[in-house]
Amino acid sequence: MTFAPVTIIDHPLVQHKLTLMRQGETSTTKFRQLLKEIGMLLAYEVTRDLPLKNQTIQTPLATMEAPMLASDKKLVIVPILRAGQGLLDGMLELIPSARVGHIGLYRDPSTHIAVEYYFKLPHDVEHRDVLVVDPMLATGNSAVAAVDRIKEYTPHSIKFICLLAAPEGIAHFQEQHPDVAIFTAAVDDKLDEHGYILPGLGDAGDRLYGTK
C-alpha cells in the first residue's frame, strides 16, 4: 500500500520553540504562546501547495497581473478538542479567513479509545480543503476517529497536522487513512504504557490550560 507523505517540519524556529515546550518548567503562559507561534509556522508550511491564480490589480503606479489564492472556498481548520484549540489560534492568525469546525473527543483512560462528545463542520465542507489539528499524535485513535467522521462529509482534501507524533500513532493512522498526509514537527521514540509520547512534553491539554 502507498501512503501519503509524513512531513517533518524541521524549520529551526519550530524546533527551538518545540524544545522550550518540552521542558517541564515552561509555564502555562509560555507554553500557550509557543503553541500559538508554532501553529503559525505550521500553517505556513502546510499551505505551501495552495494553488494561485493571477488577478489583474492596480498598484499606485501600474496595472499588473499578480498571484492570489485560487480557490474561492476557504480552508477549514478542525481542531480536535481540547488541545487542538491551542494550535488553531496561531493558524488563524496566518489564515484569518479560514472556516473552523470542531470535534470533541476524549480518550477513555483505560482503553485509550476516542469517544466523541461534539461535532460541527461548515455546511459546504465537500468543496473545501480540511486541516485537522491536534498537537499530539499518540496512539492515533483520536486522529483516526476525527478523520473517519470528517470523511463522512467528503471534503475536497484532508491533511493532519500535529506537533509531536509517536511511531505507533503514525502507523495506526496510515493504516486507516493512507490517503491523508501527516505534518509534524517531530517523531518521538515511543508511547509509554499510558499512551503518552516519550520523551514528549506531557499532557498537551493540561499544559495548555494549566489544569494539572
**Rule CB under 6 A: is residue 138 a binding residue for ligand URA?**
yes
**Which span (45-53, 56-64, 144-152, 193-201) binds ligand URA, by CB under 6 A?**
193-201
Report the greatest alpha carbon distance in the chain. Answer: 66
**Rule CB under 6 A: is residue 204 a binding residue for ligand URA?**
yes
Taking CB under 6 A as the criterion, the residue among 136, 147, 150, 158 binding ligand URA is: 136
Q: Which is nearer to ligand URA, 98 or 136 (CB)?
A: 136
Distance in angstroms (rounded) separating the CA atoms of residues 180 and 146: 12
Write the DSSP string, 48-114: TT--EEEEEEE-SS-EEEEEEE--SSPPEEEEEETTHHHHHHHHHHH-TT-EE-EEEEEE-TTT--E
Write the DSSP string, 11-49: -HHHHHHHHHHHSTT--HHHHHHHHHHHHHHHHHHHTTT
Distance in angstroms (rounded) separating the CA atoms of residues 180 and 188: 20
Cell of 71: 480557490
**Rule CB under 6 A: is residue 197 a binding residue for ligand URA?**
yes
Span 69-88, contacts to ligand URA by CB under 6 A: 83
**Which span (51-59, 67-75, 122-130, 196-204) binds ligand URA, by CB under 6 A?**
196-204
Taking CB under 6 A as the criterion, the residue among 16, 200, 209, 210 binding ligand URA is: 200
Amino acid 62 reads A
Do the annotations mark residue 140 as ligand-binding?
yes
Q: Report in angstroms how near the CB of residue 84 gets to ligand URA at its nearest.
A: 11
Q: Report in angstroms how near the CB of residue 202 gets to ligand URA at its nearest.
A: 6
Applying CB under 6 A, the site for ligand URA has a residue count of 10
Cell of 83: 488541545
* Interface contacts to ligand URA, rule CB under 6 A: 83, 136, 138, 195-197, 200, 203-205
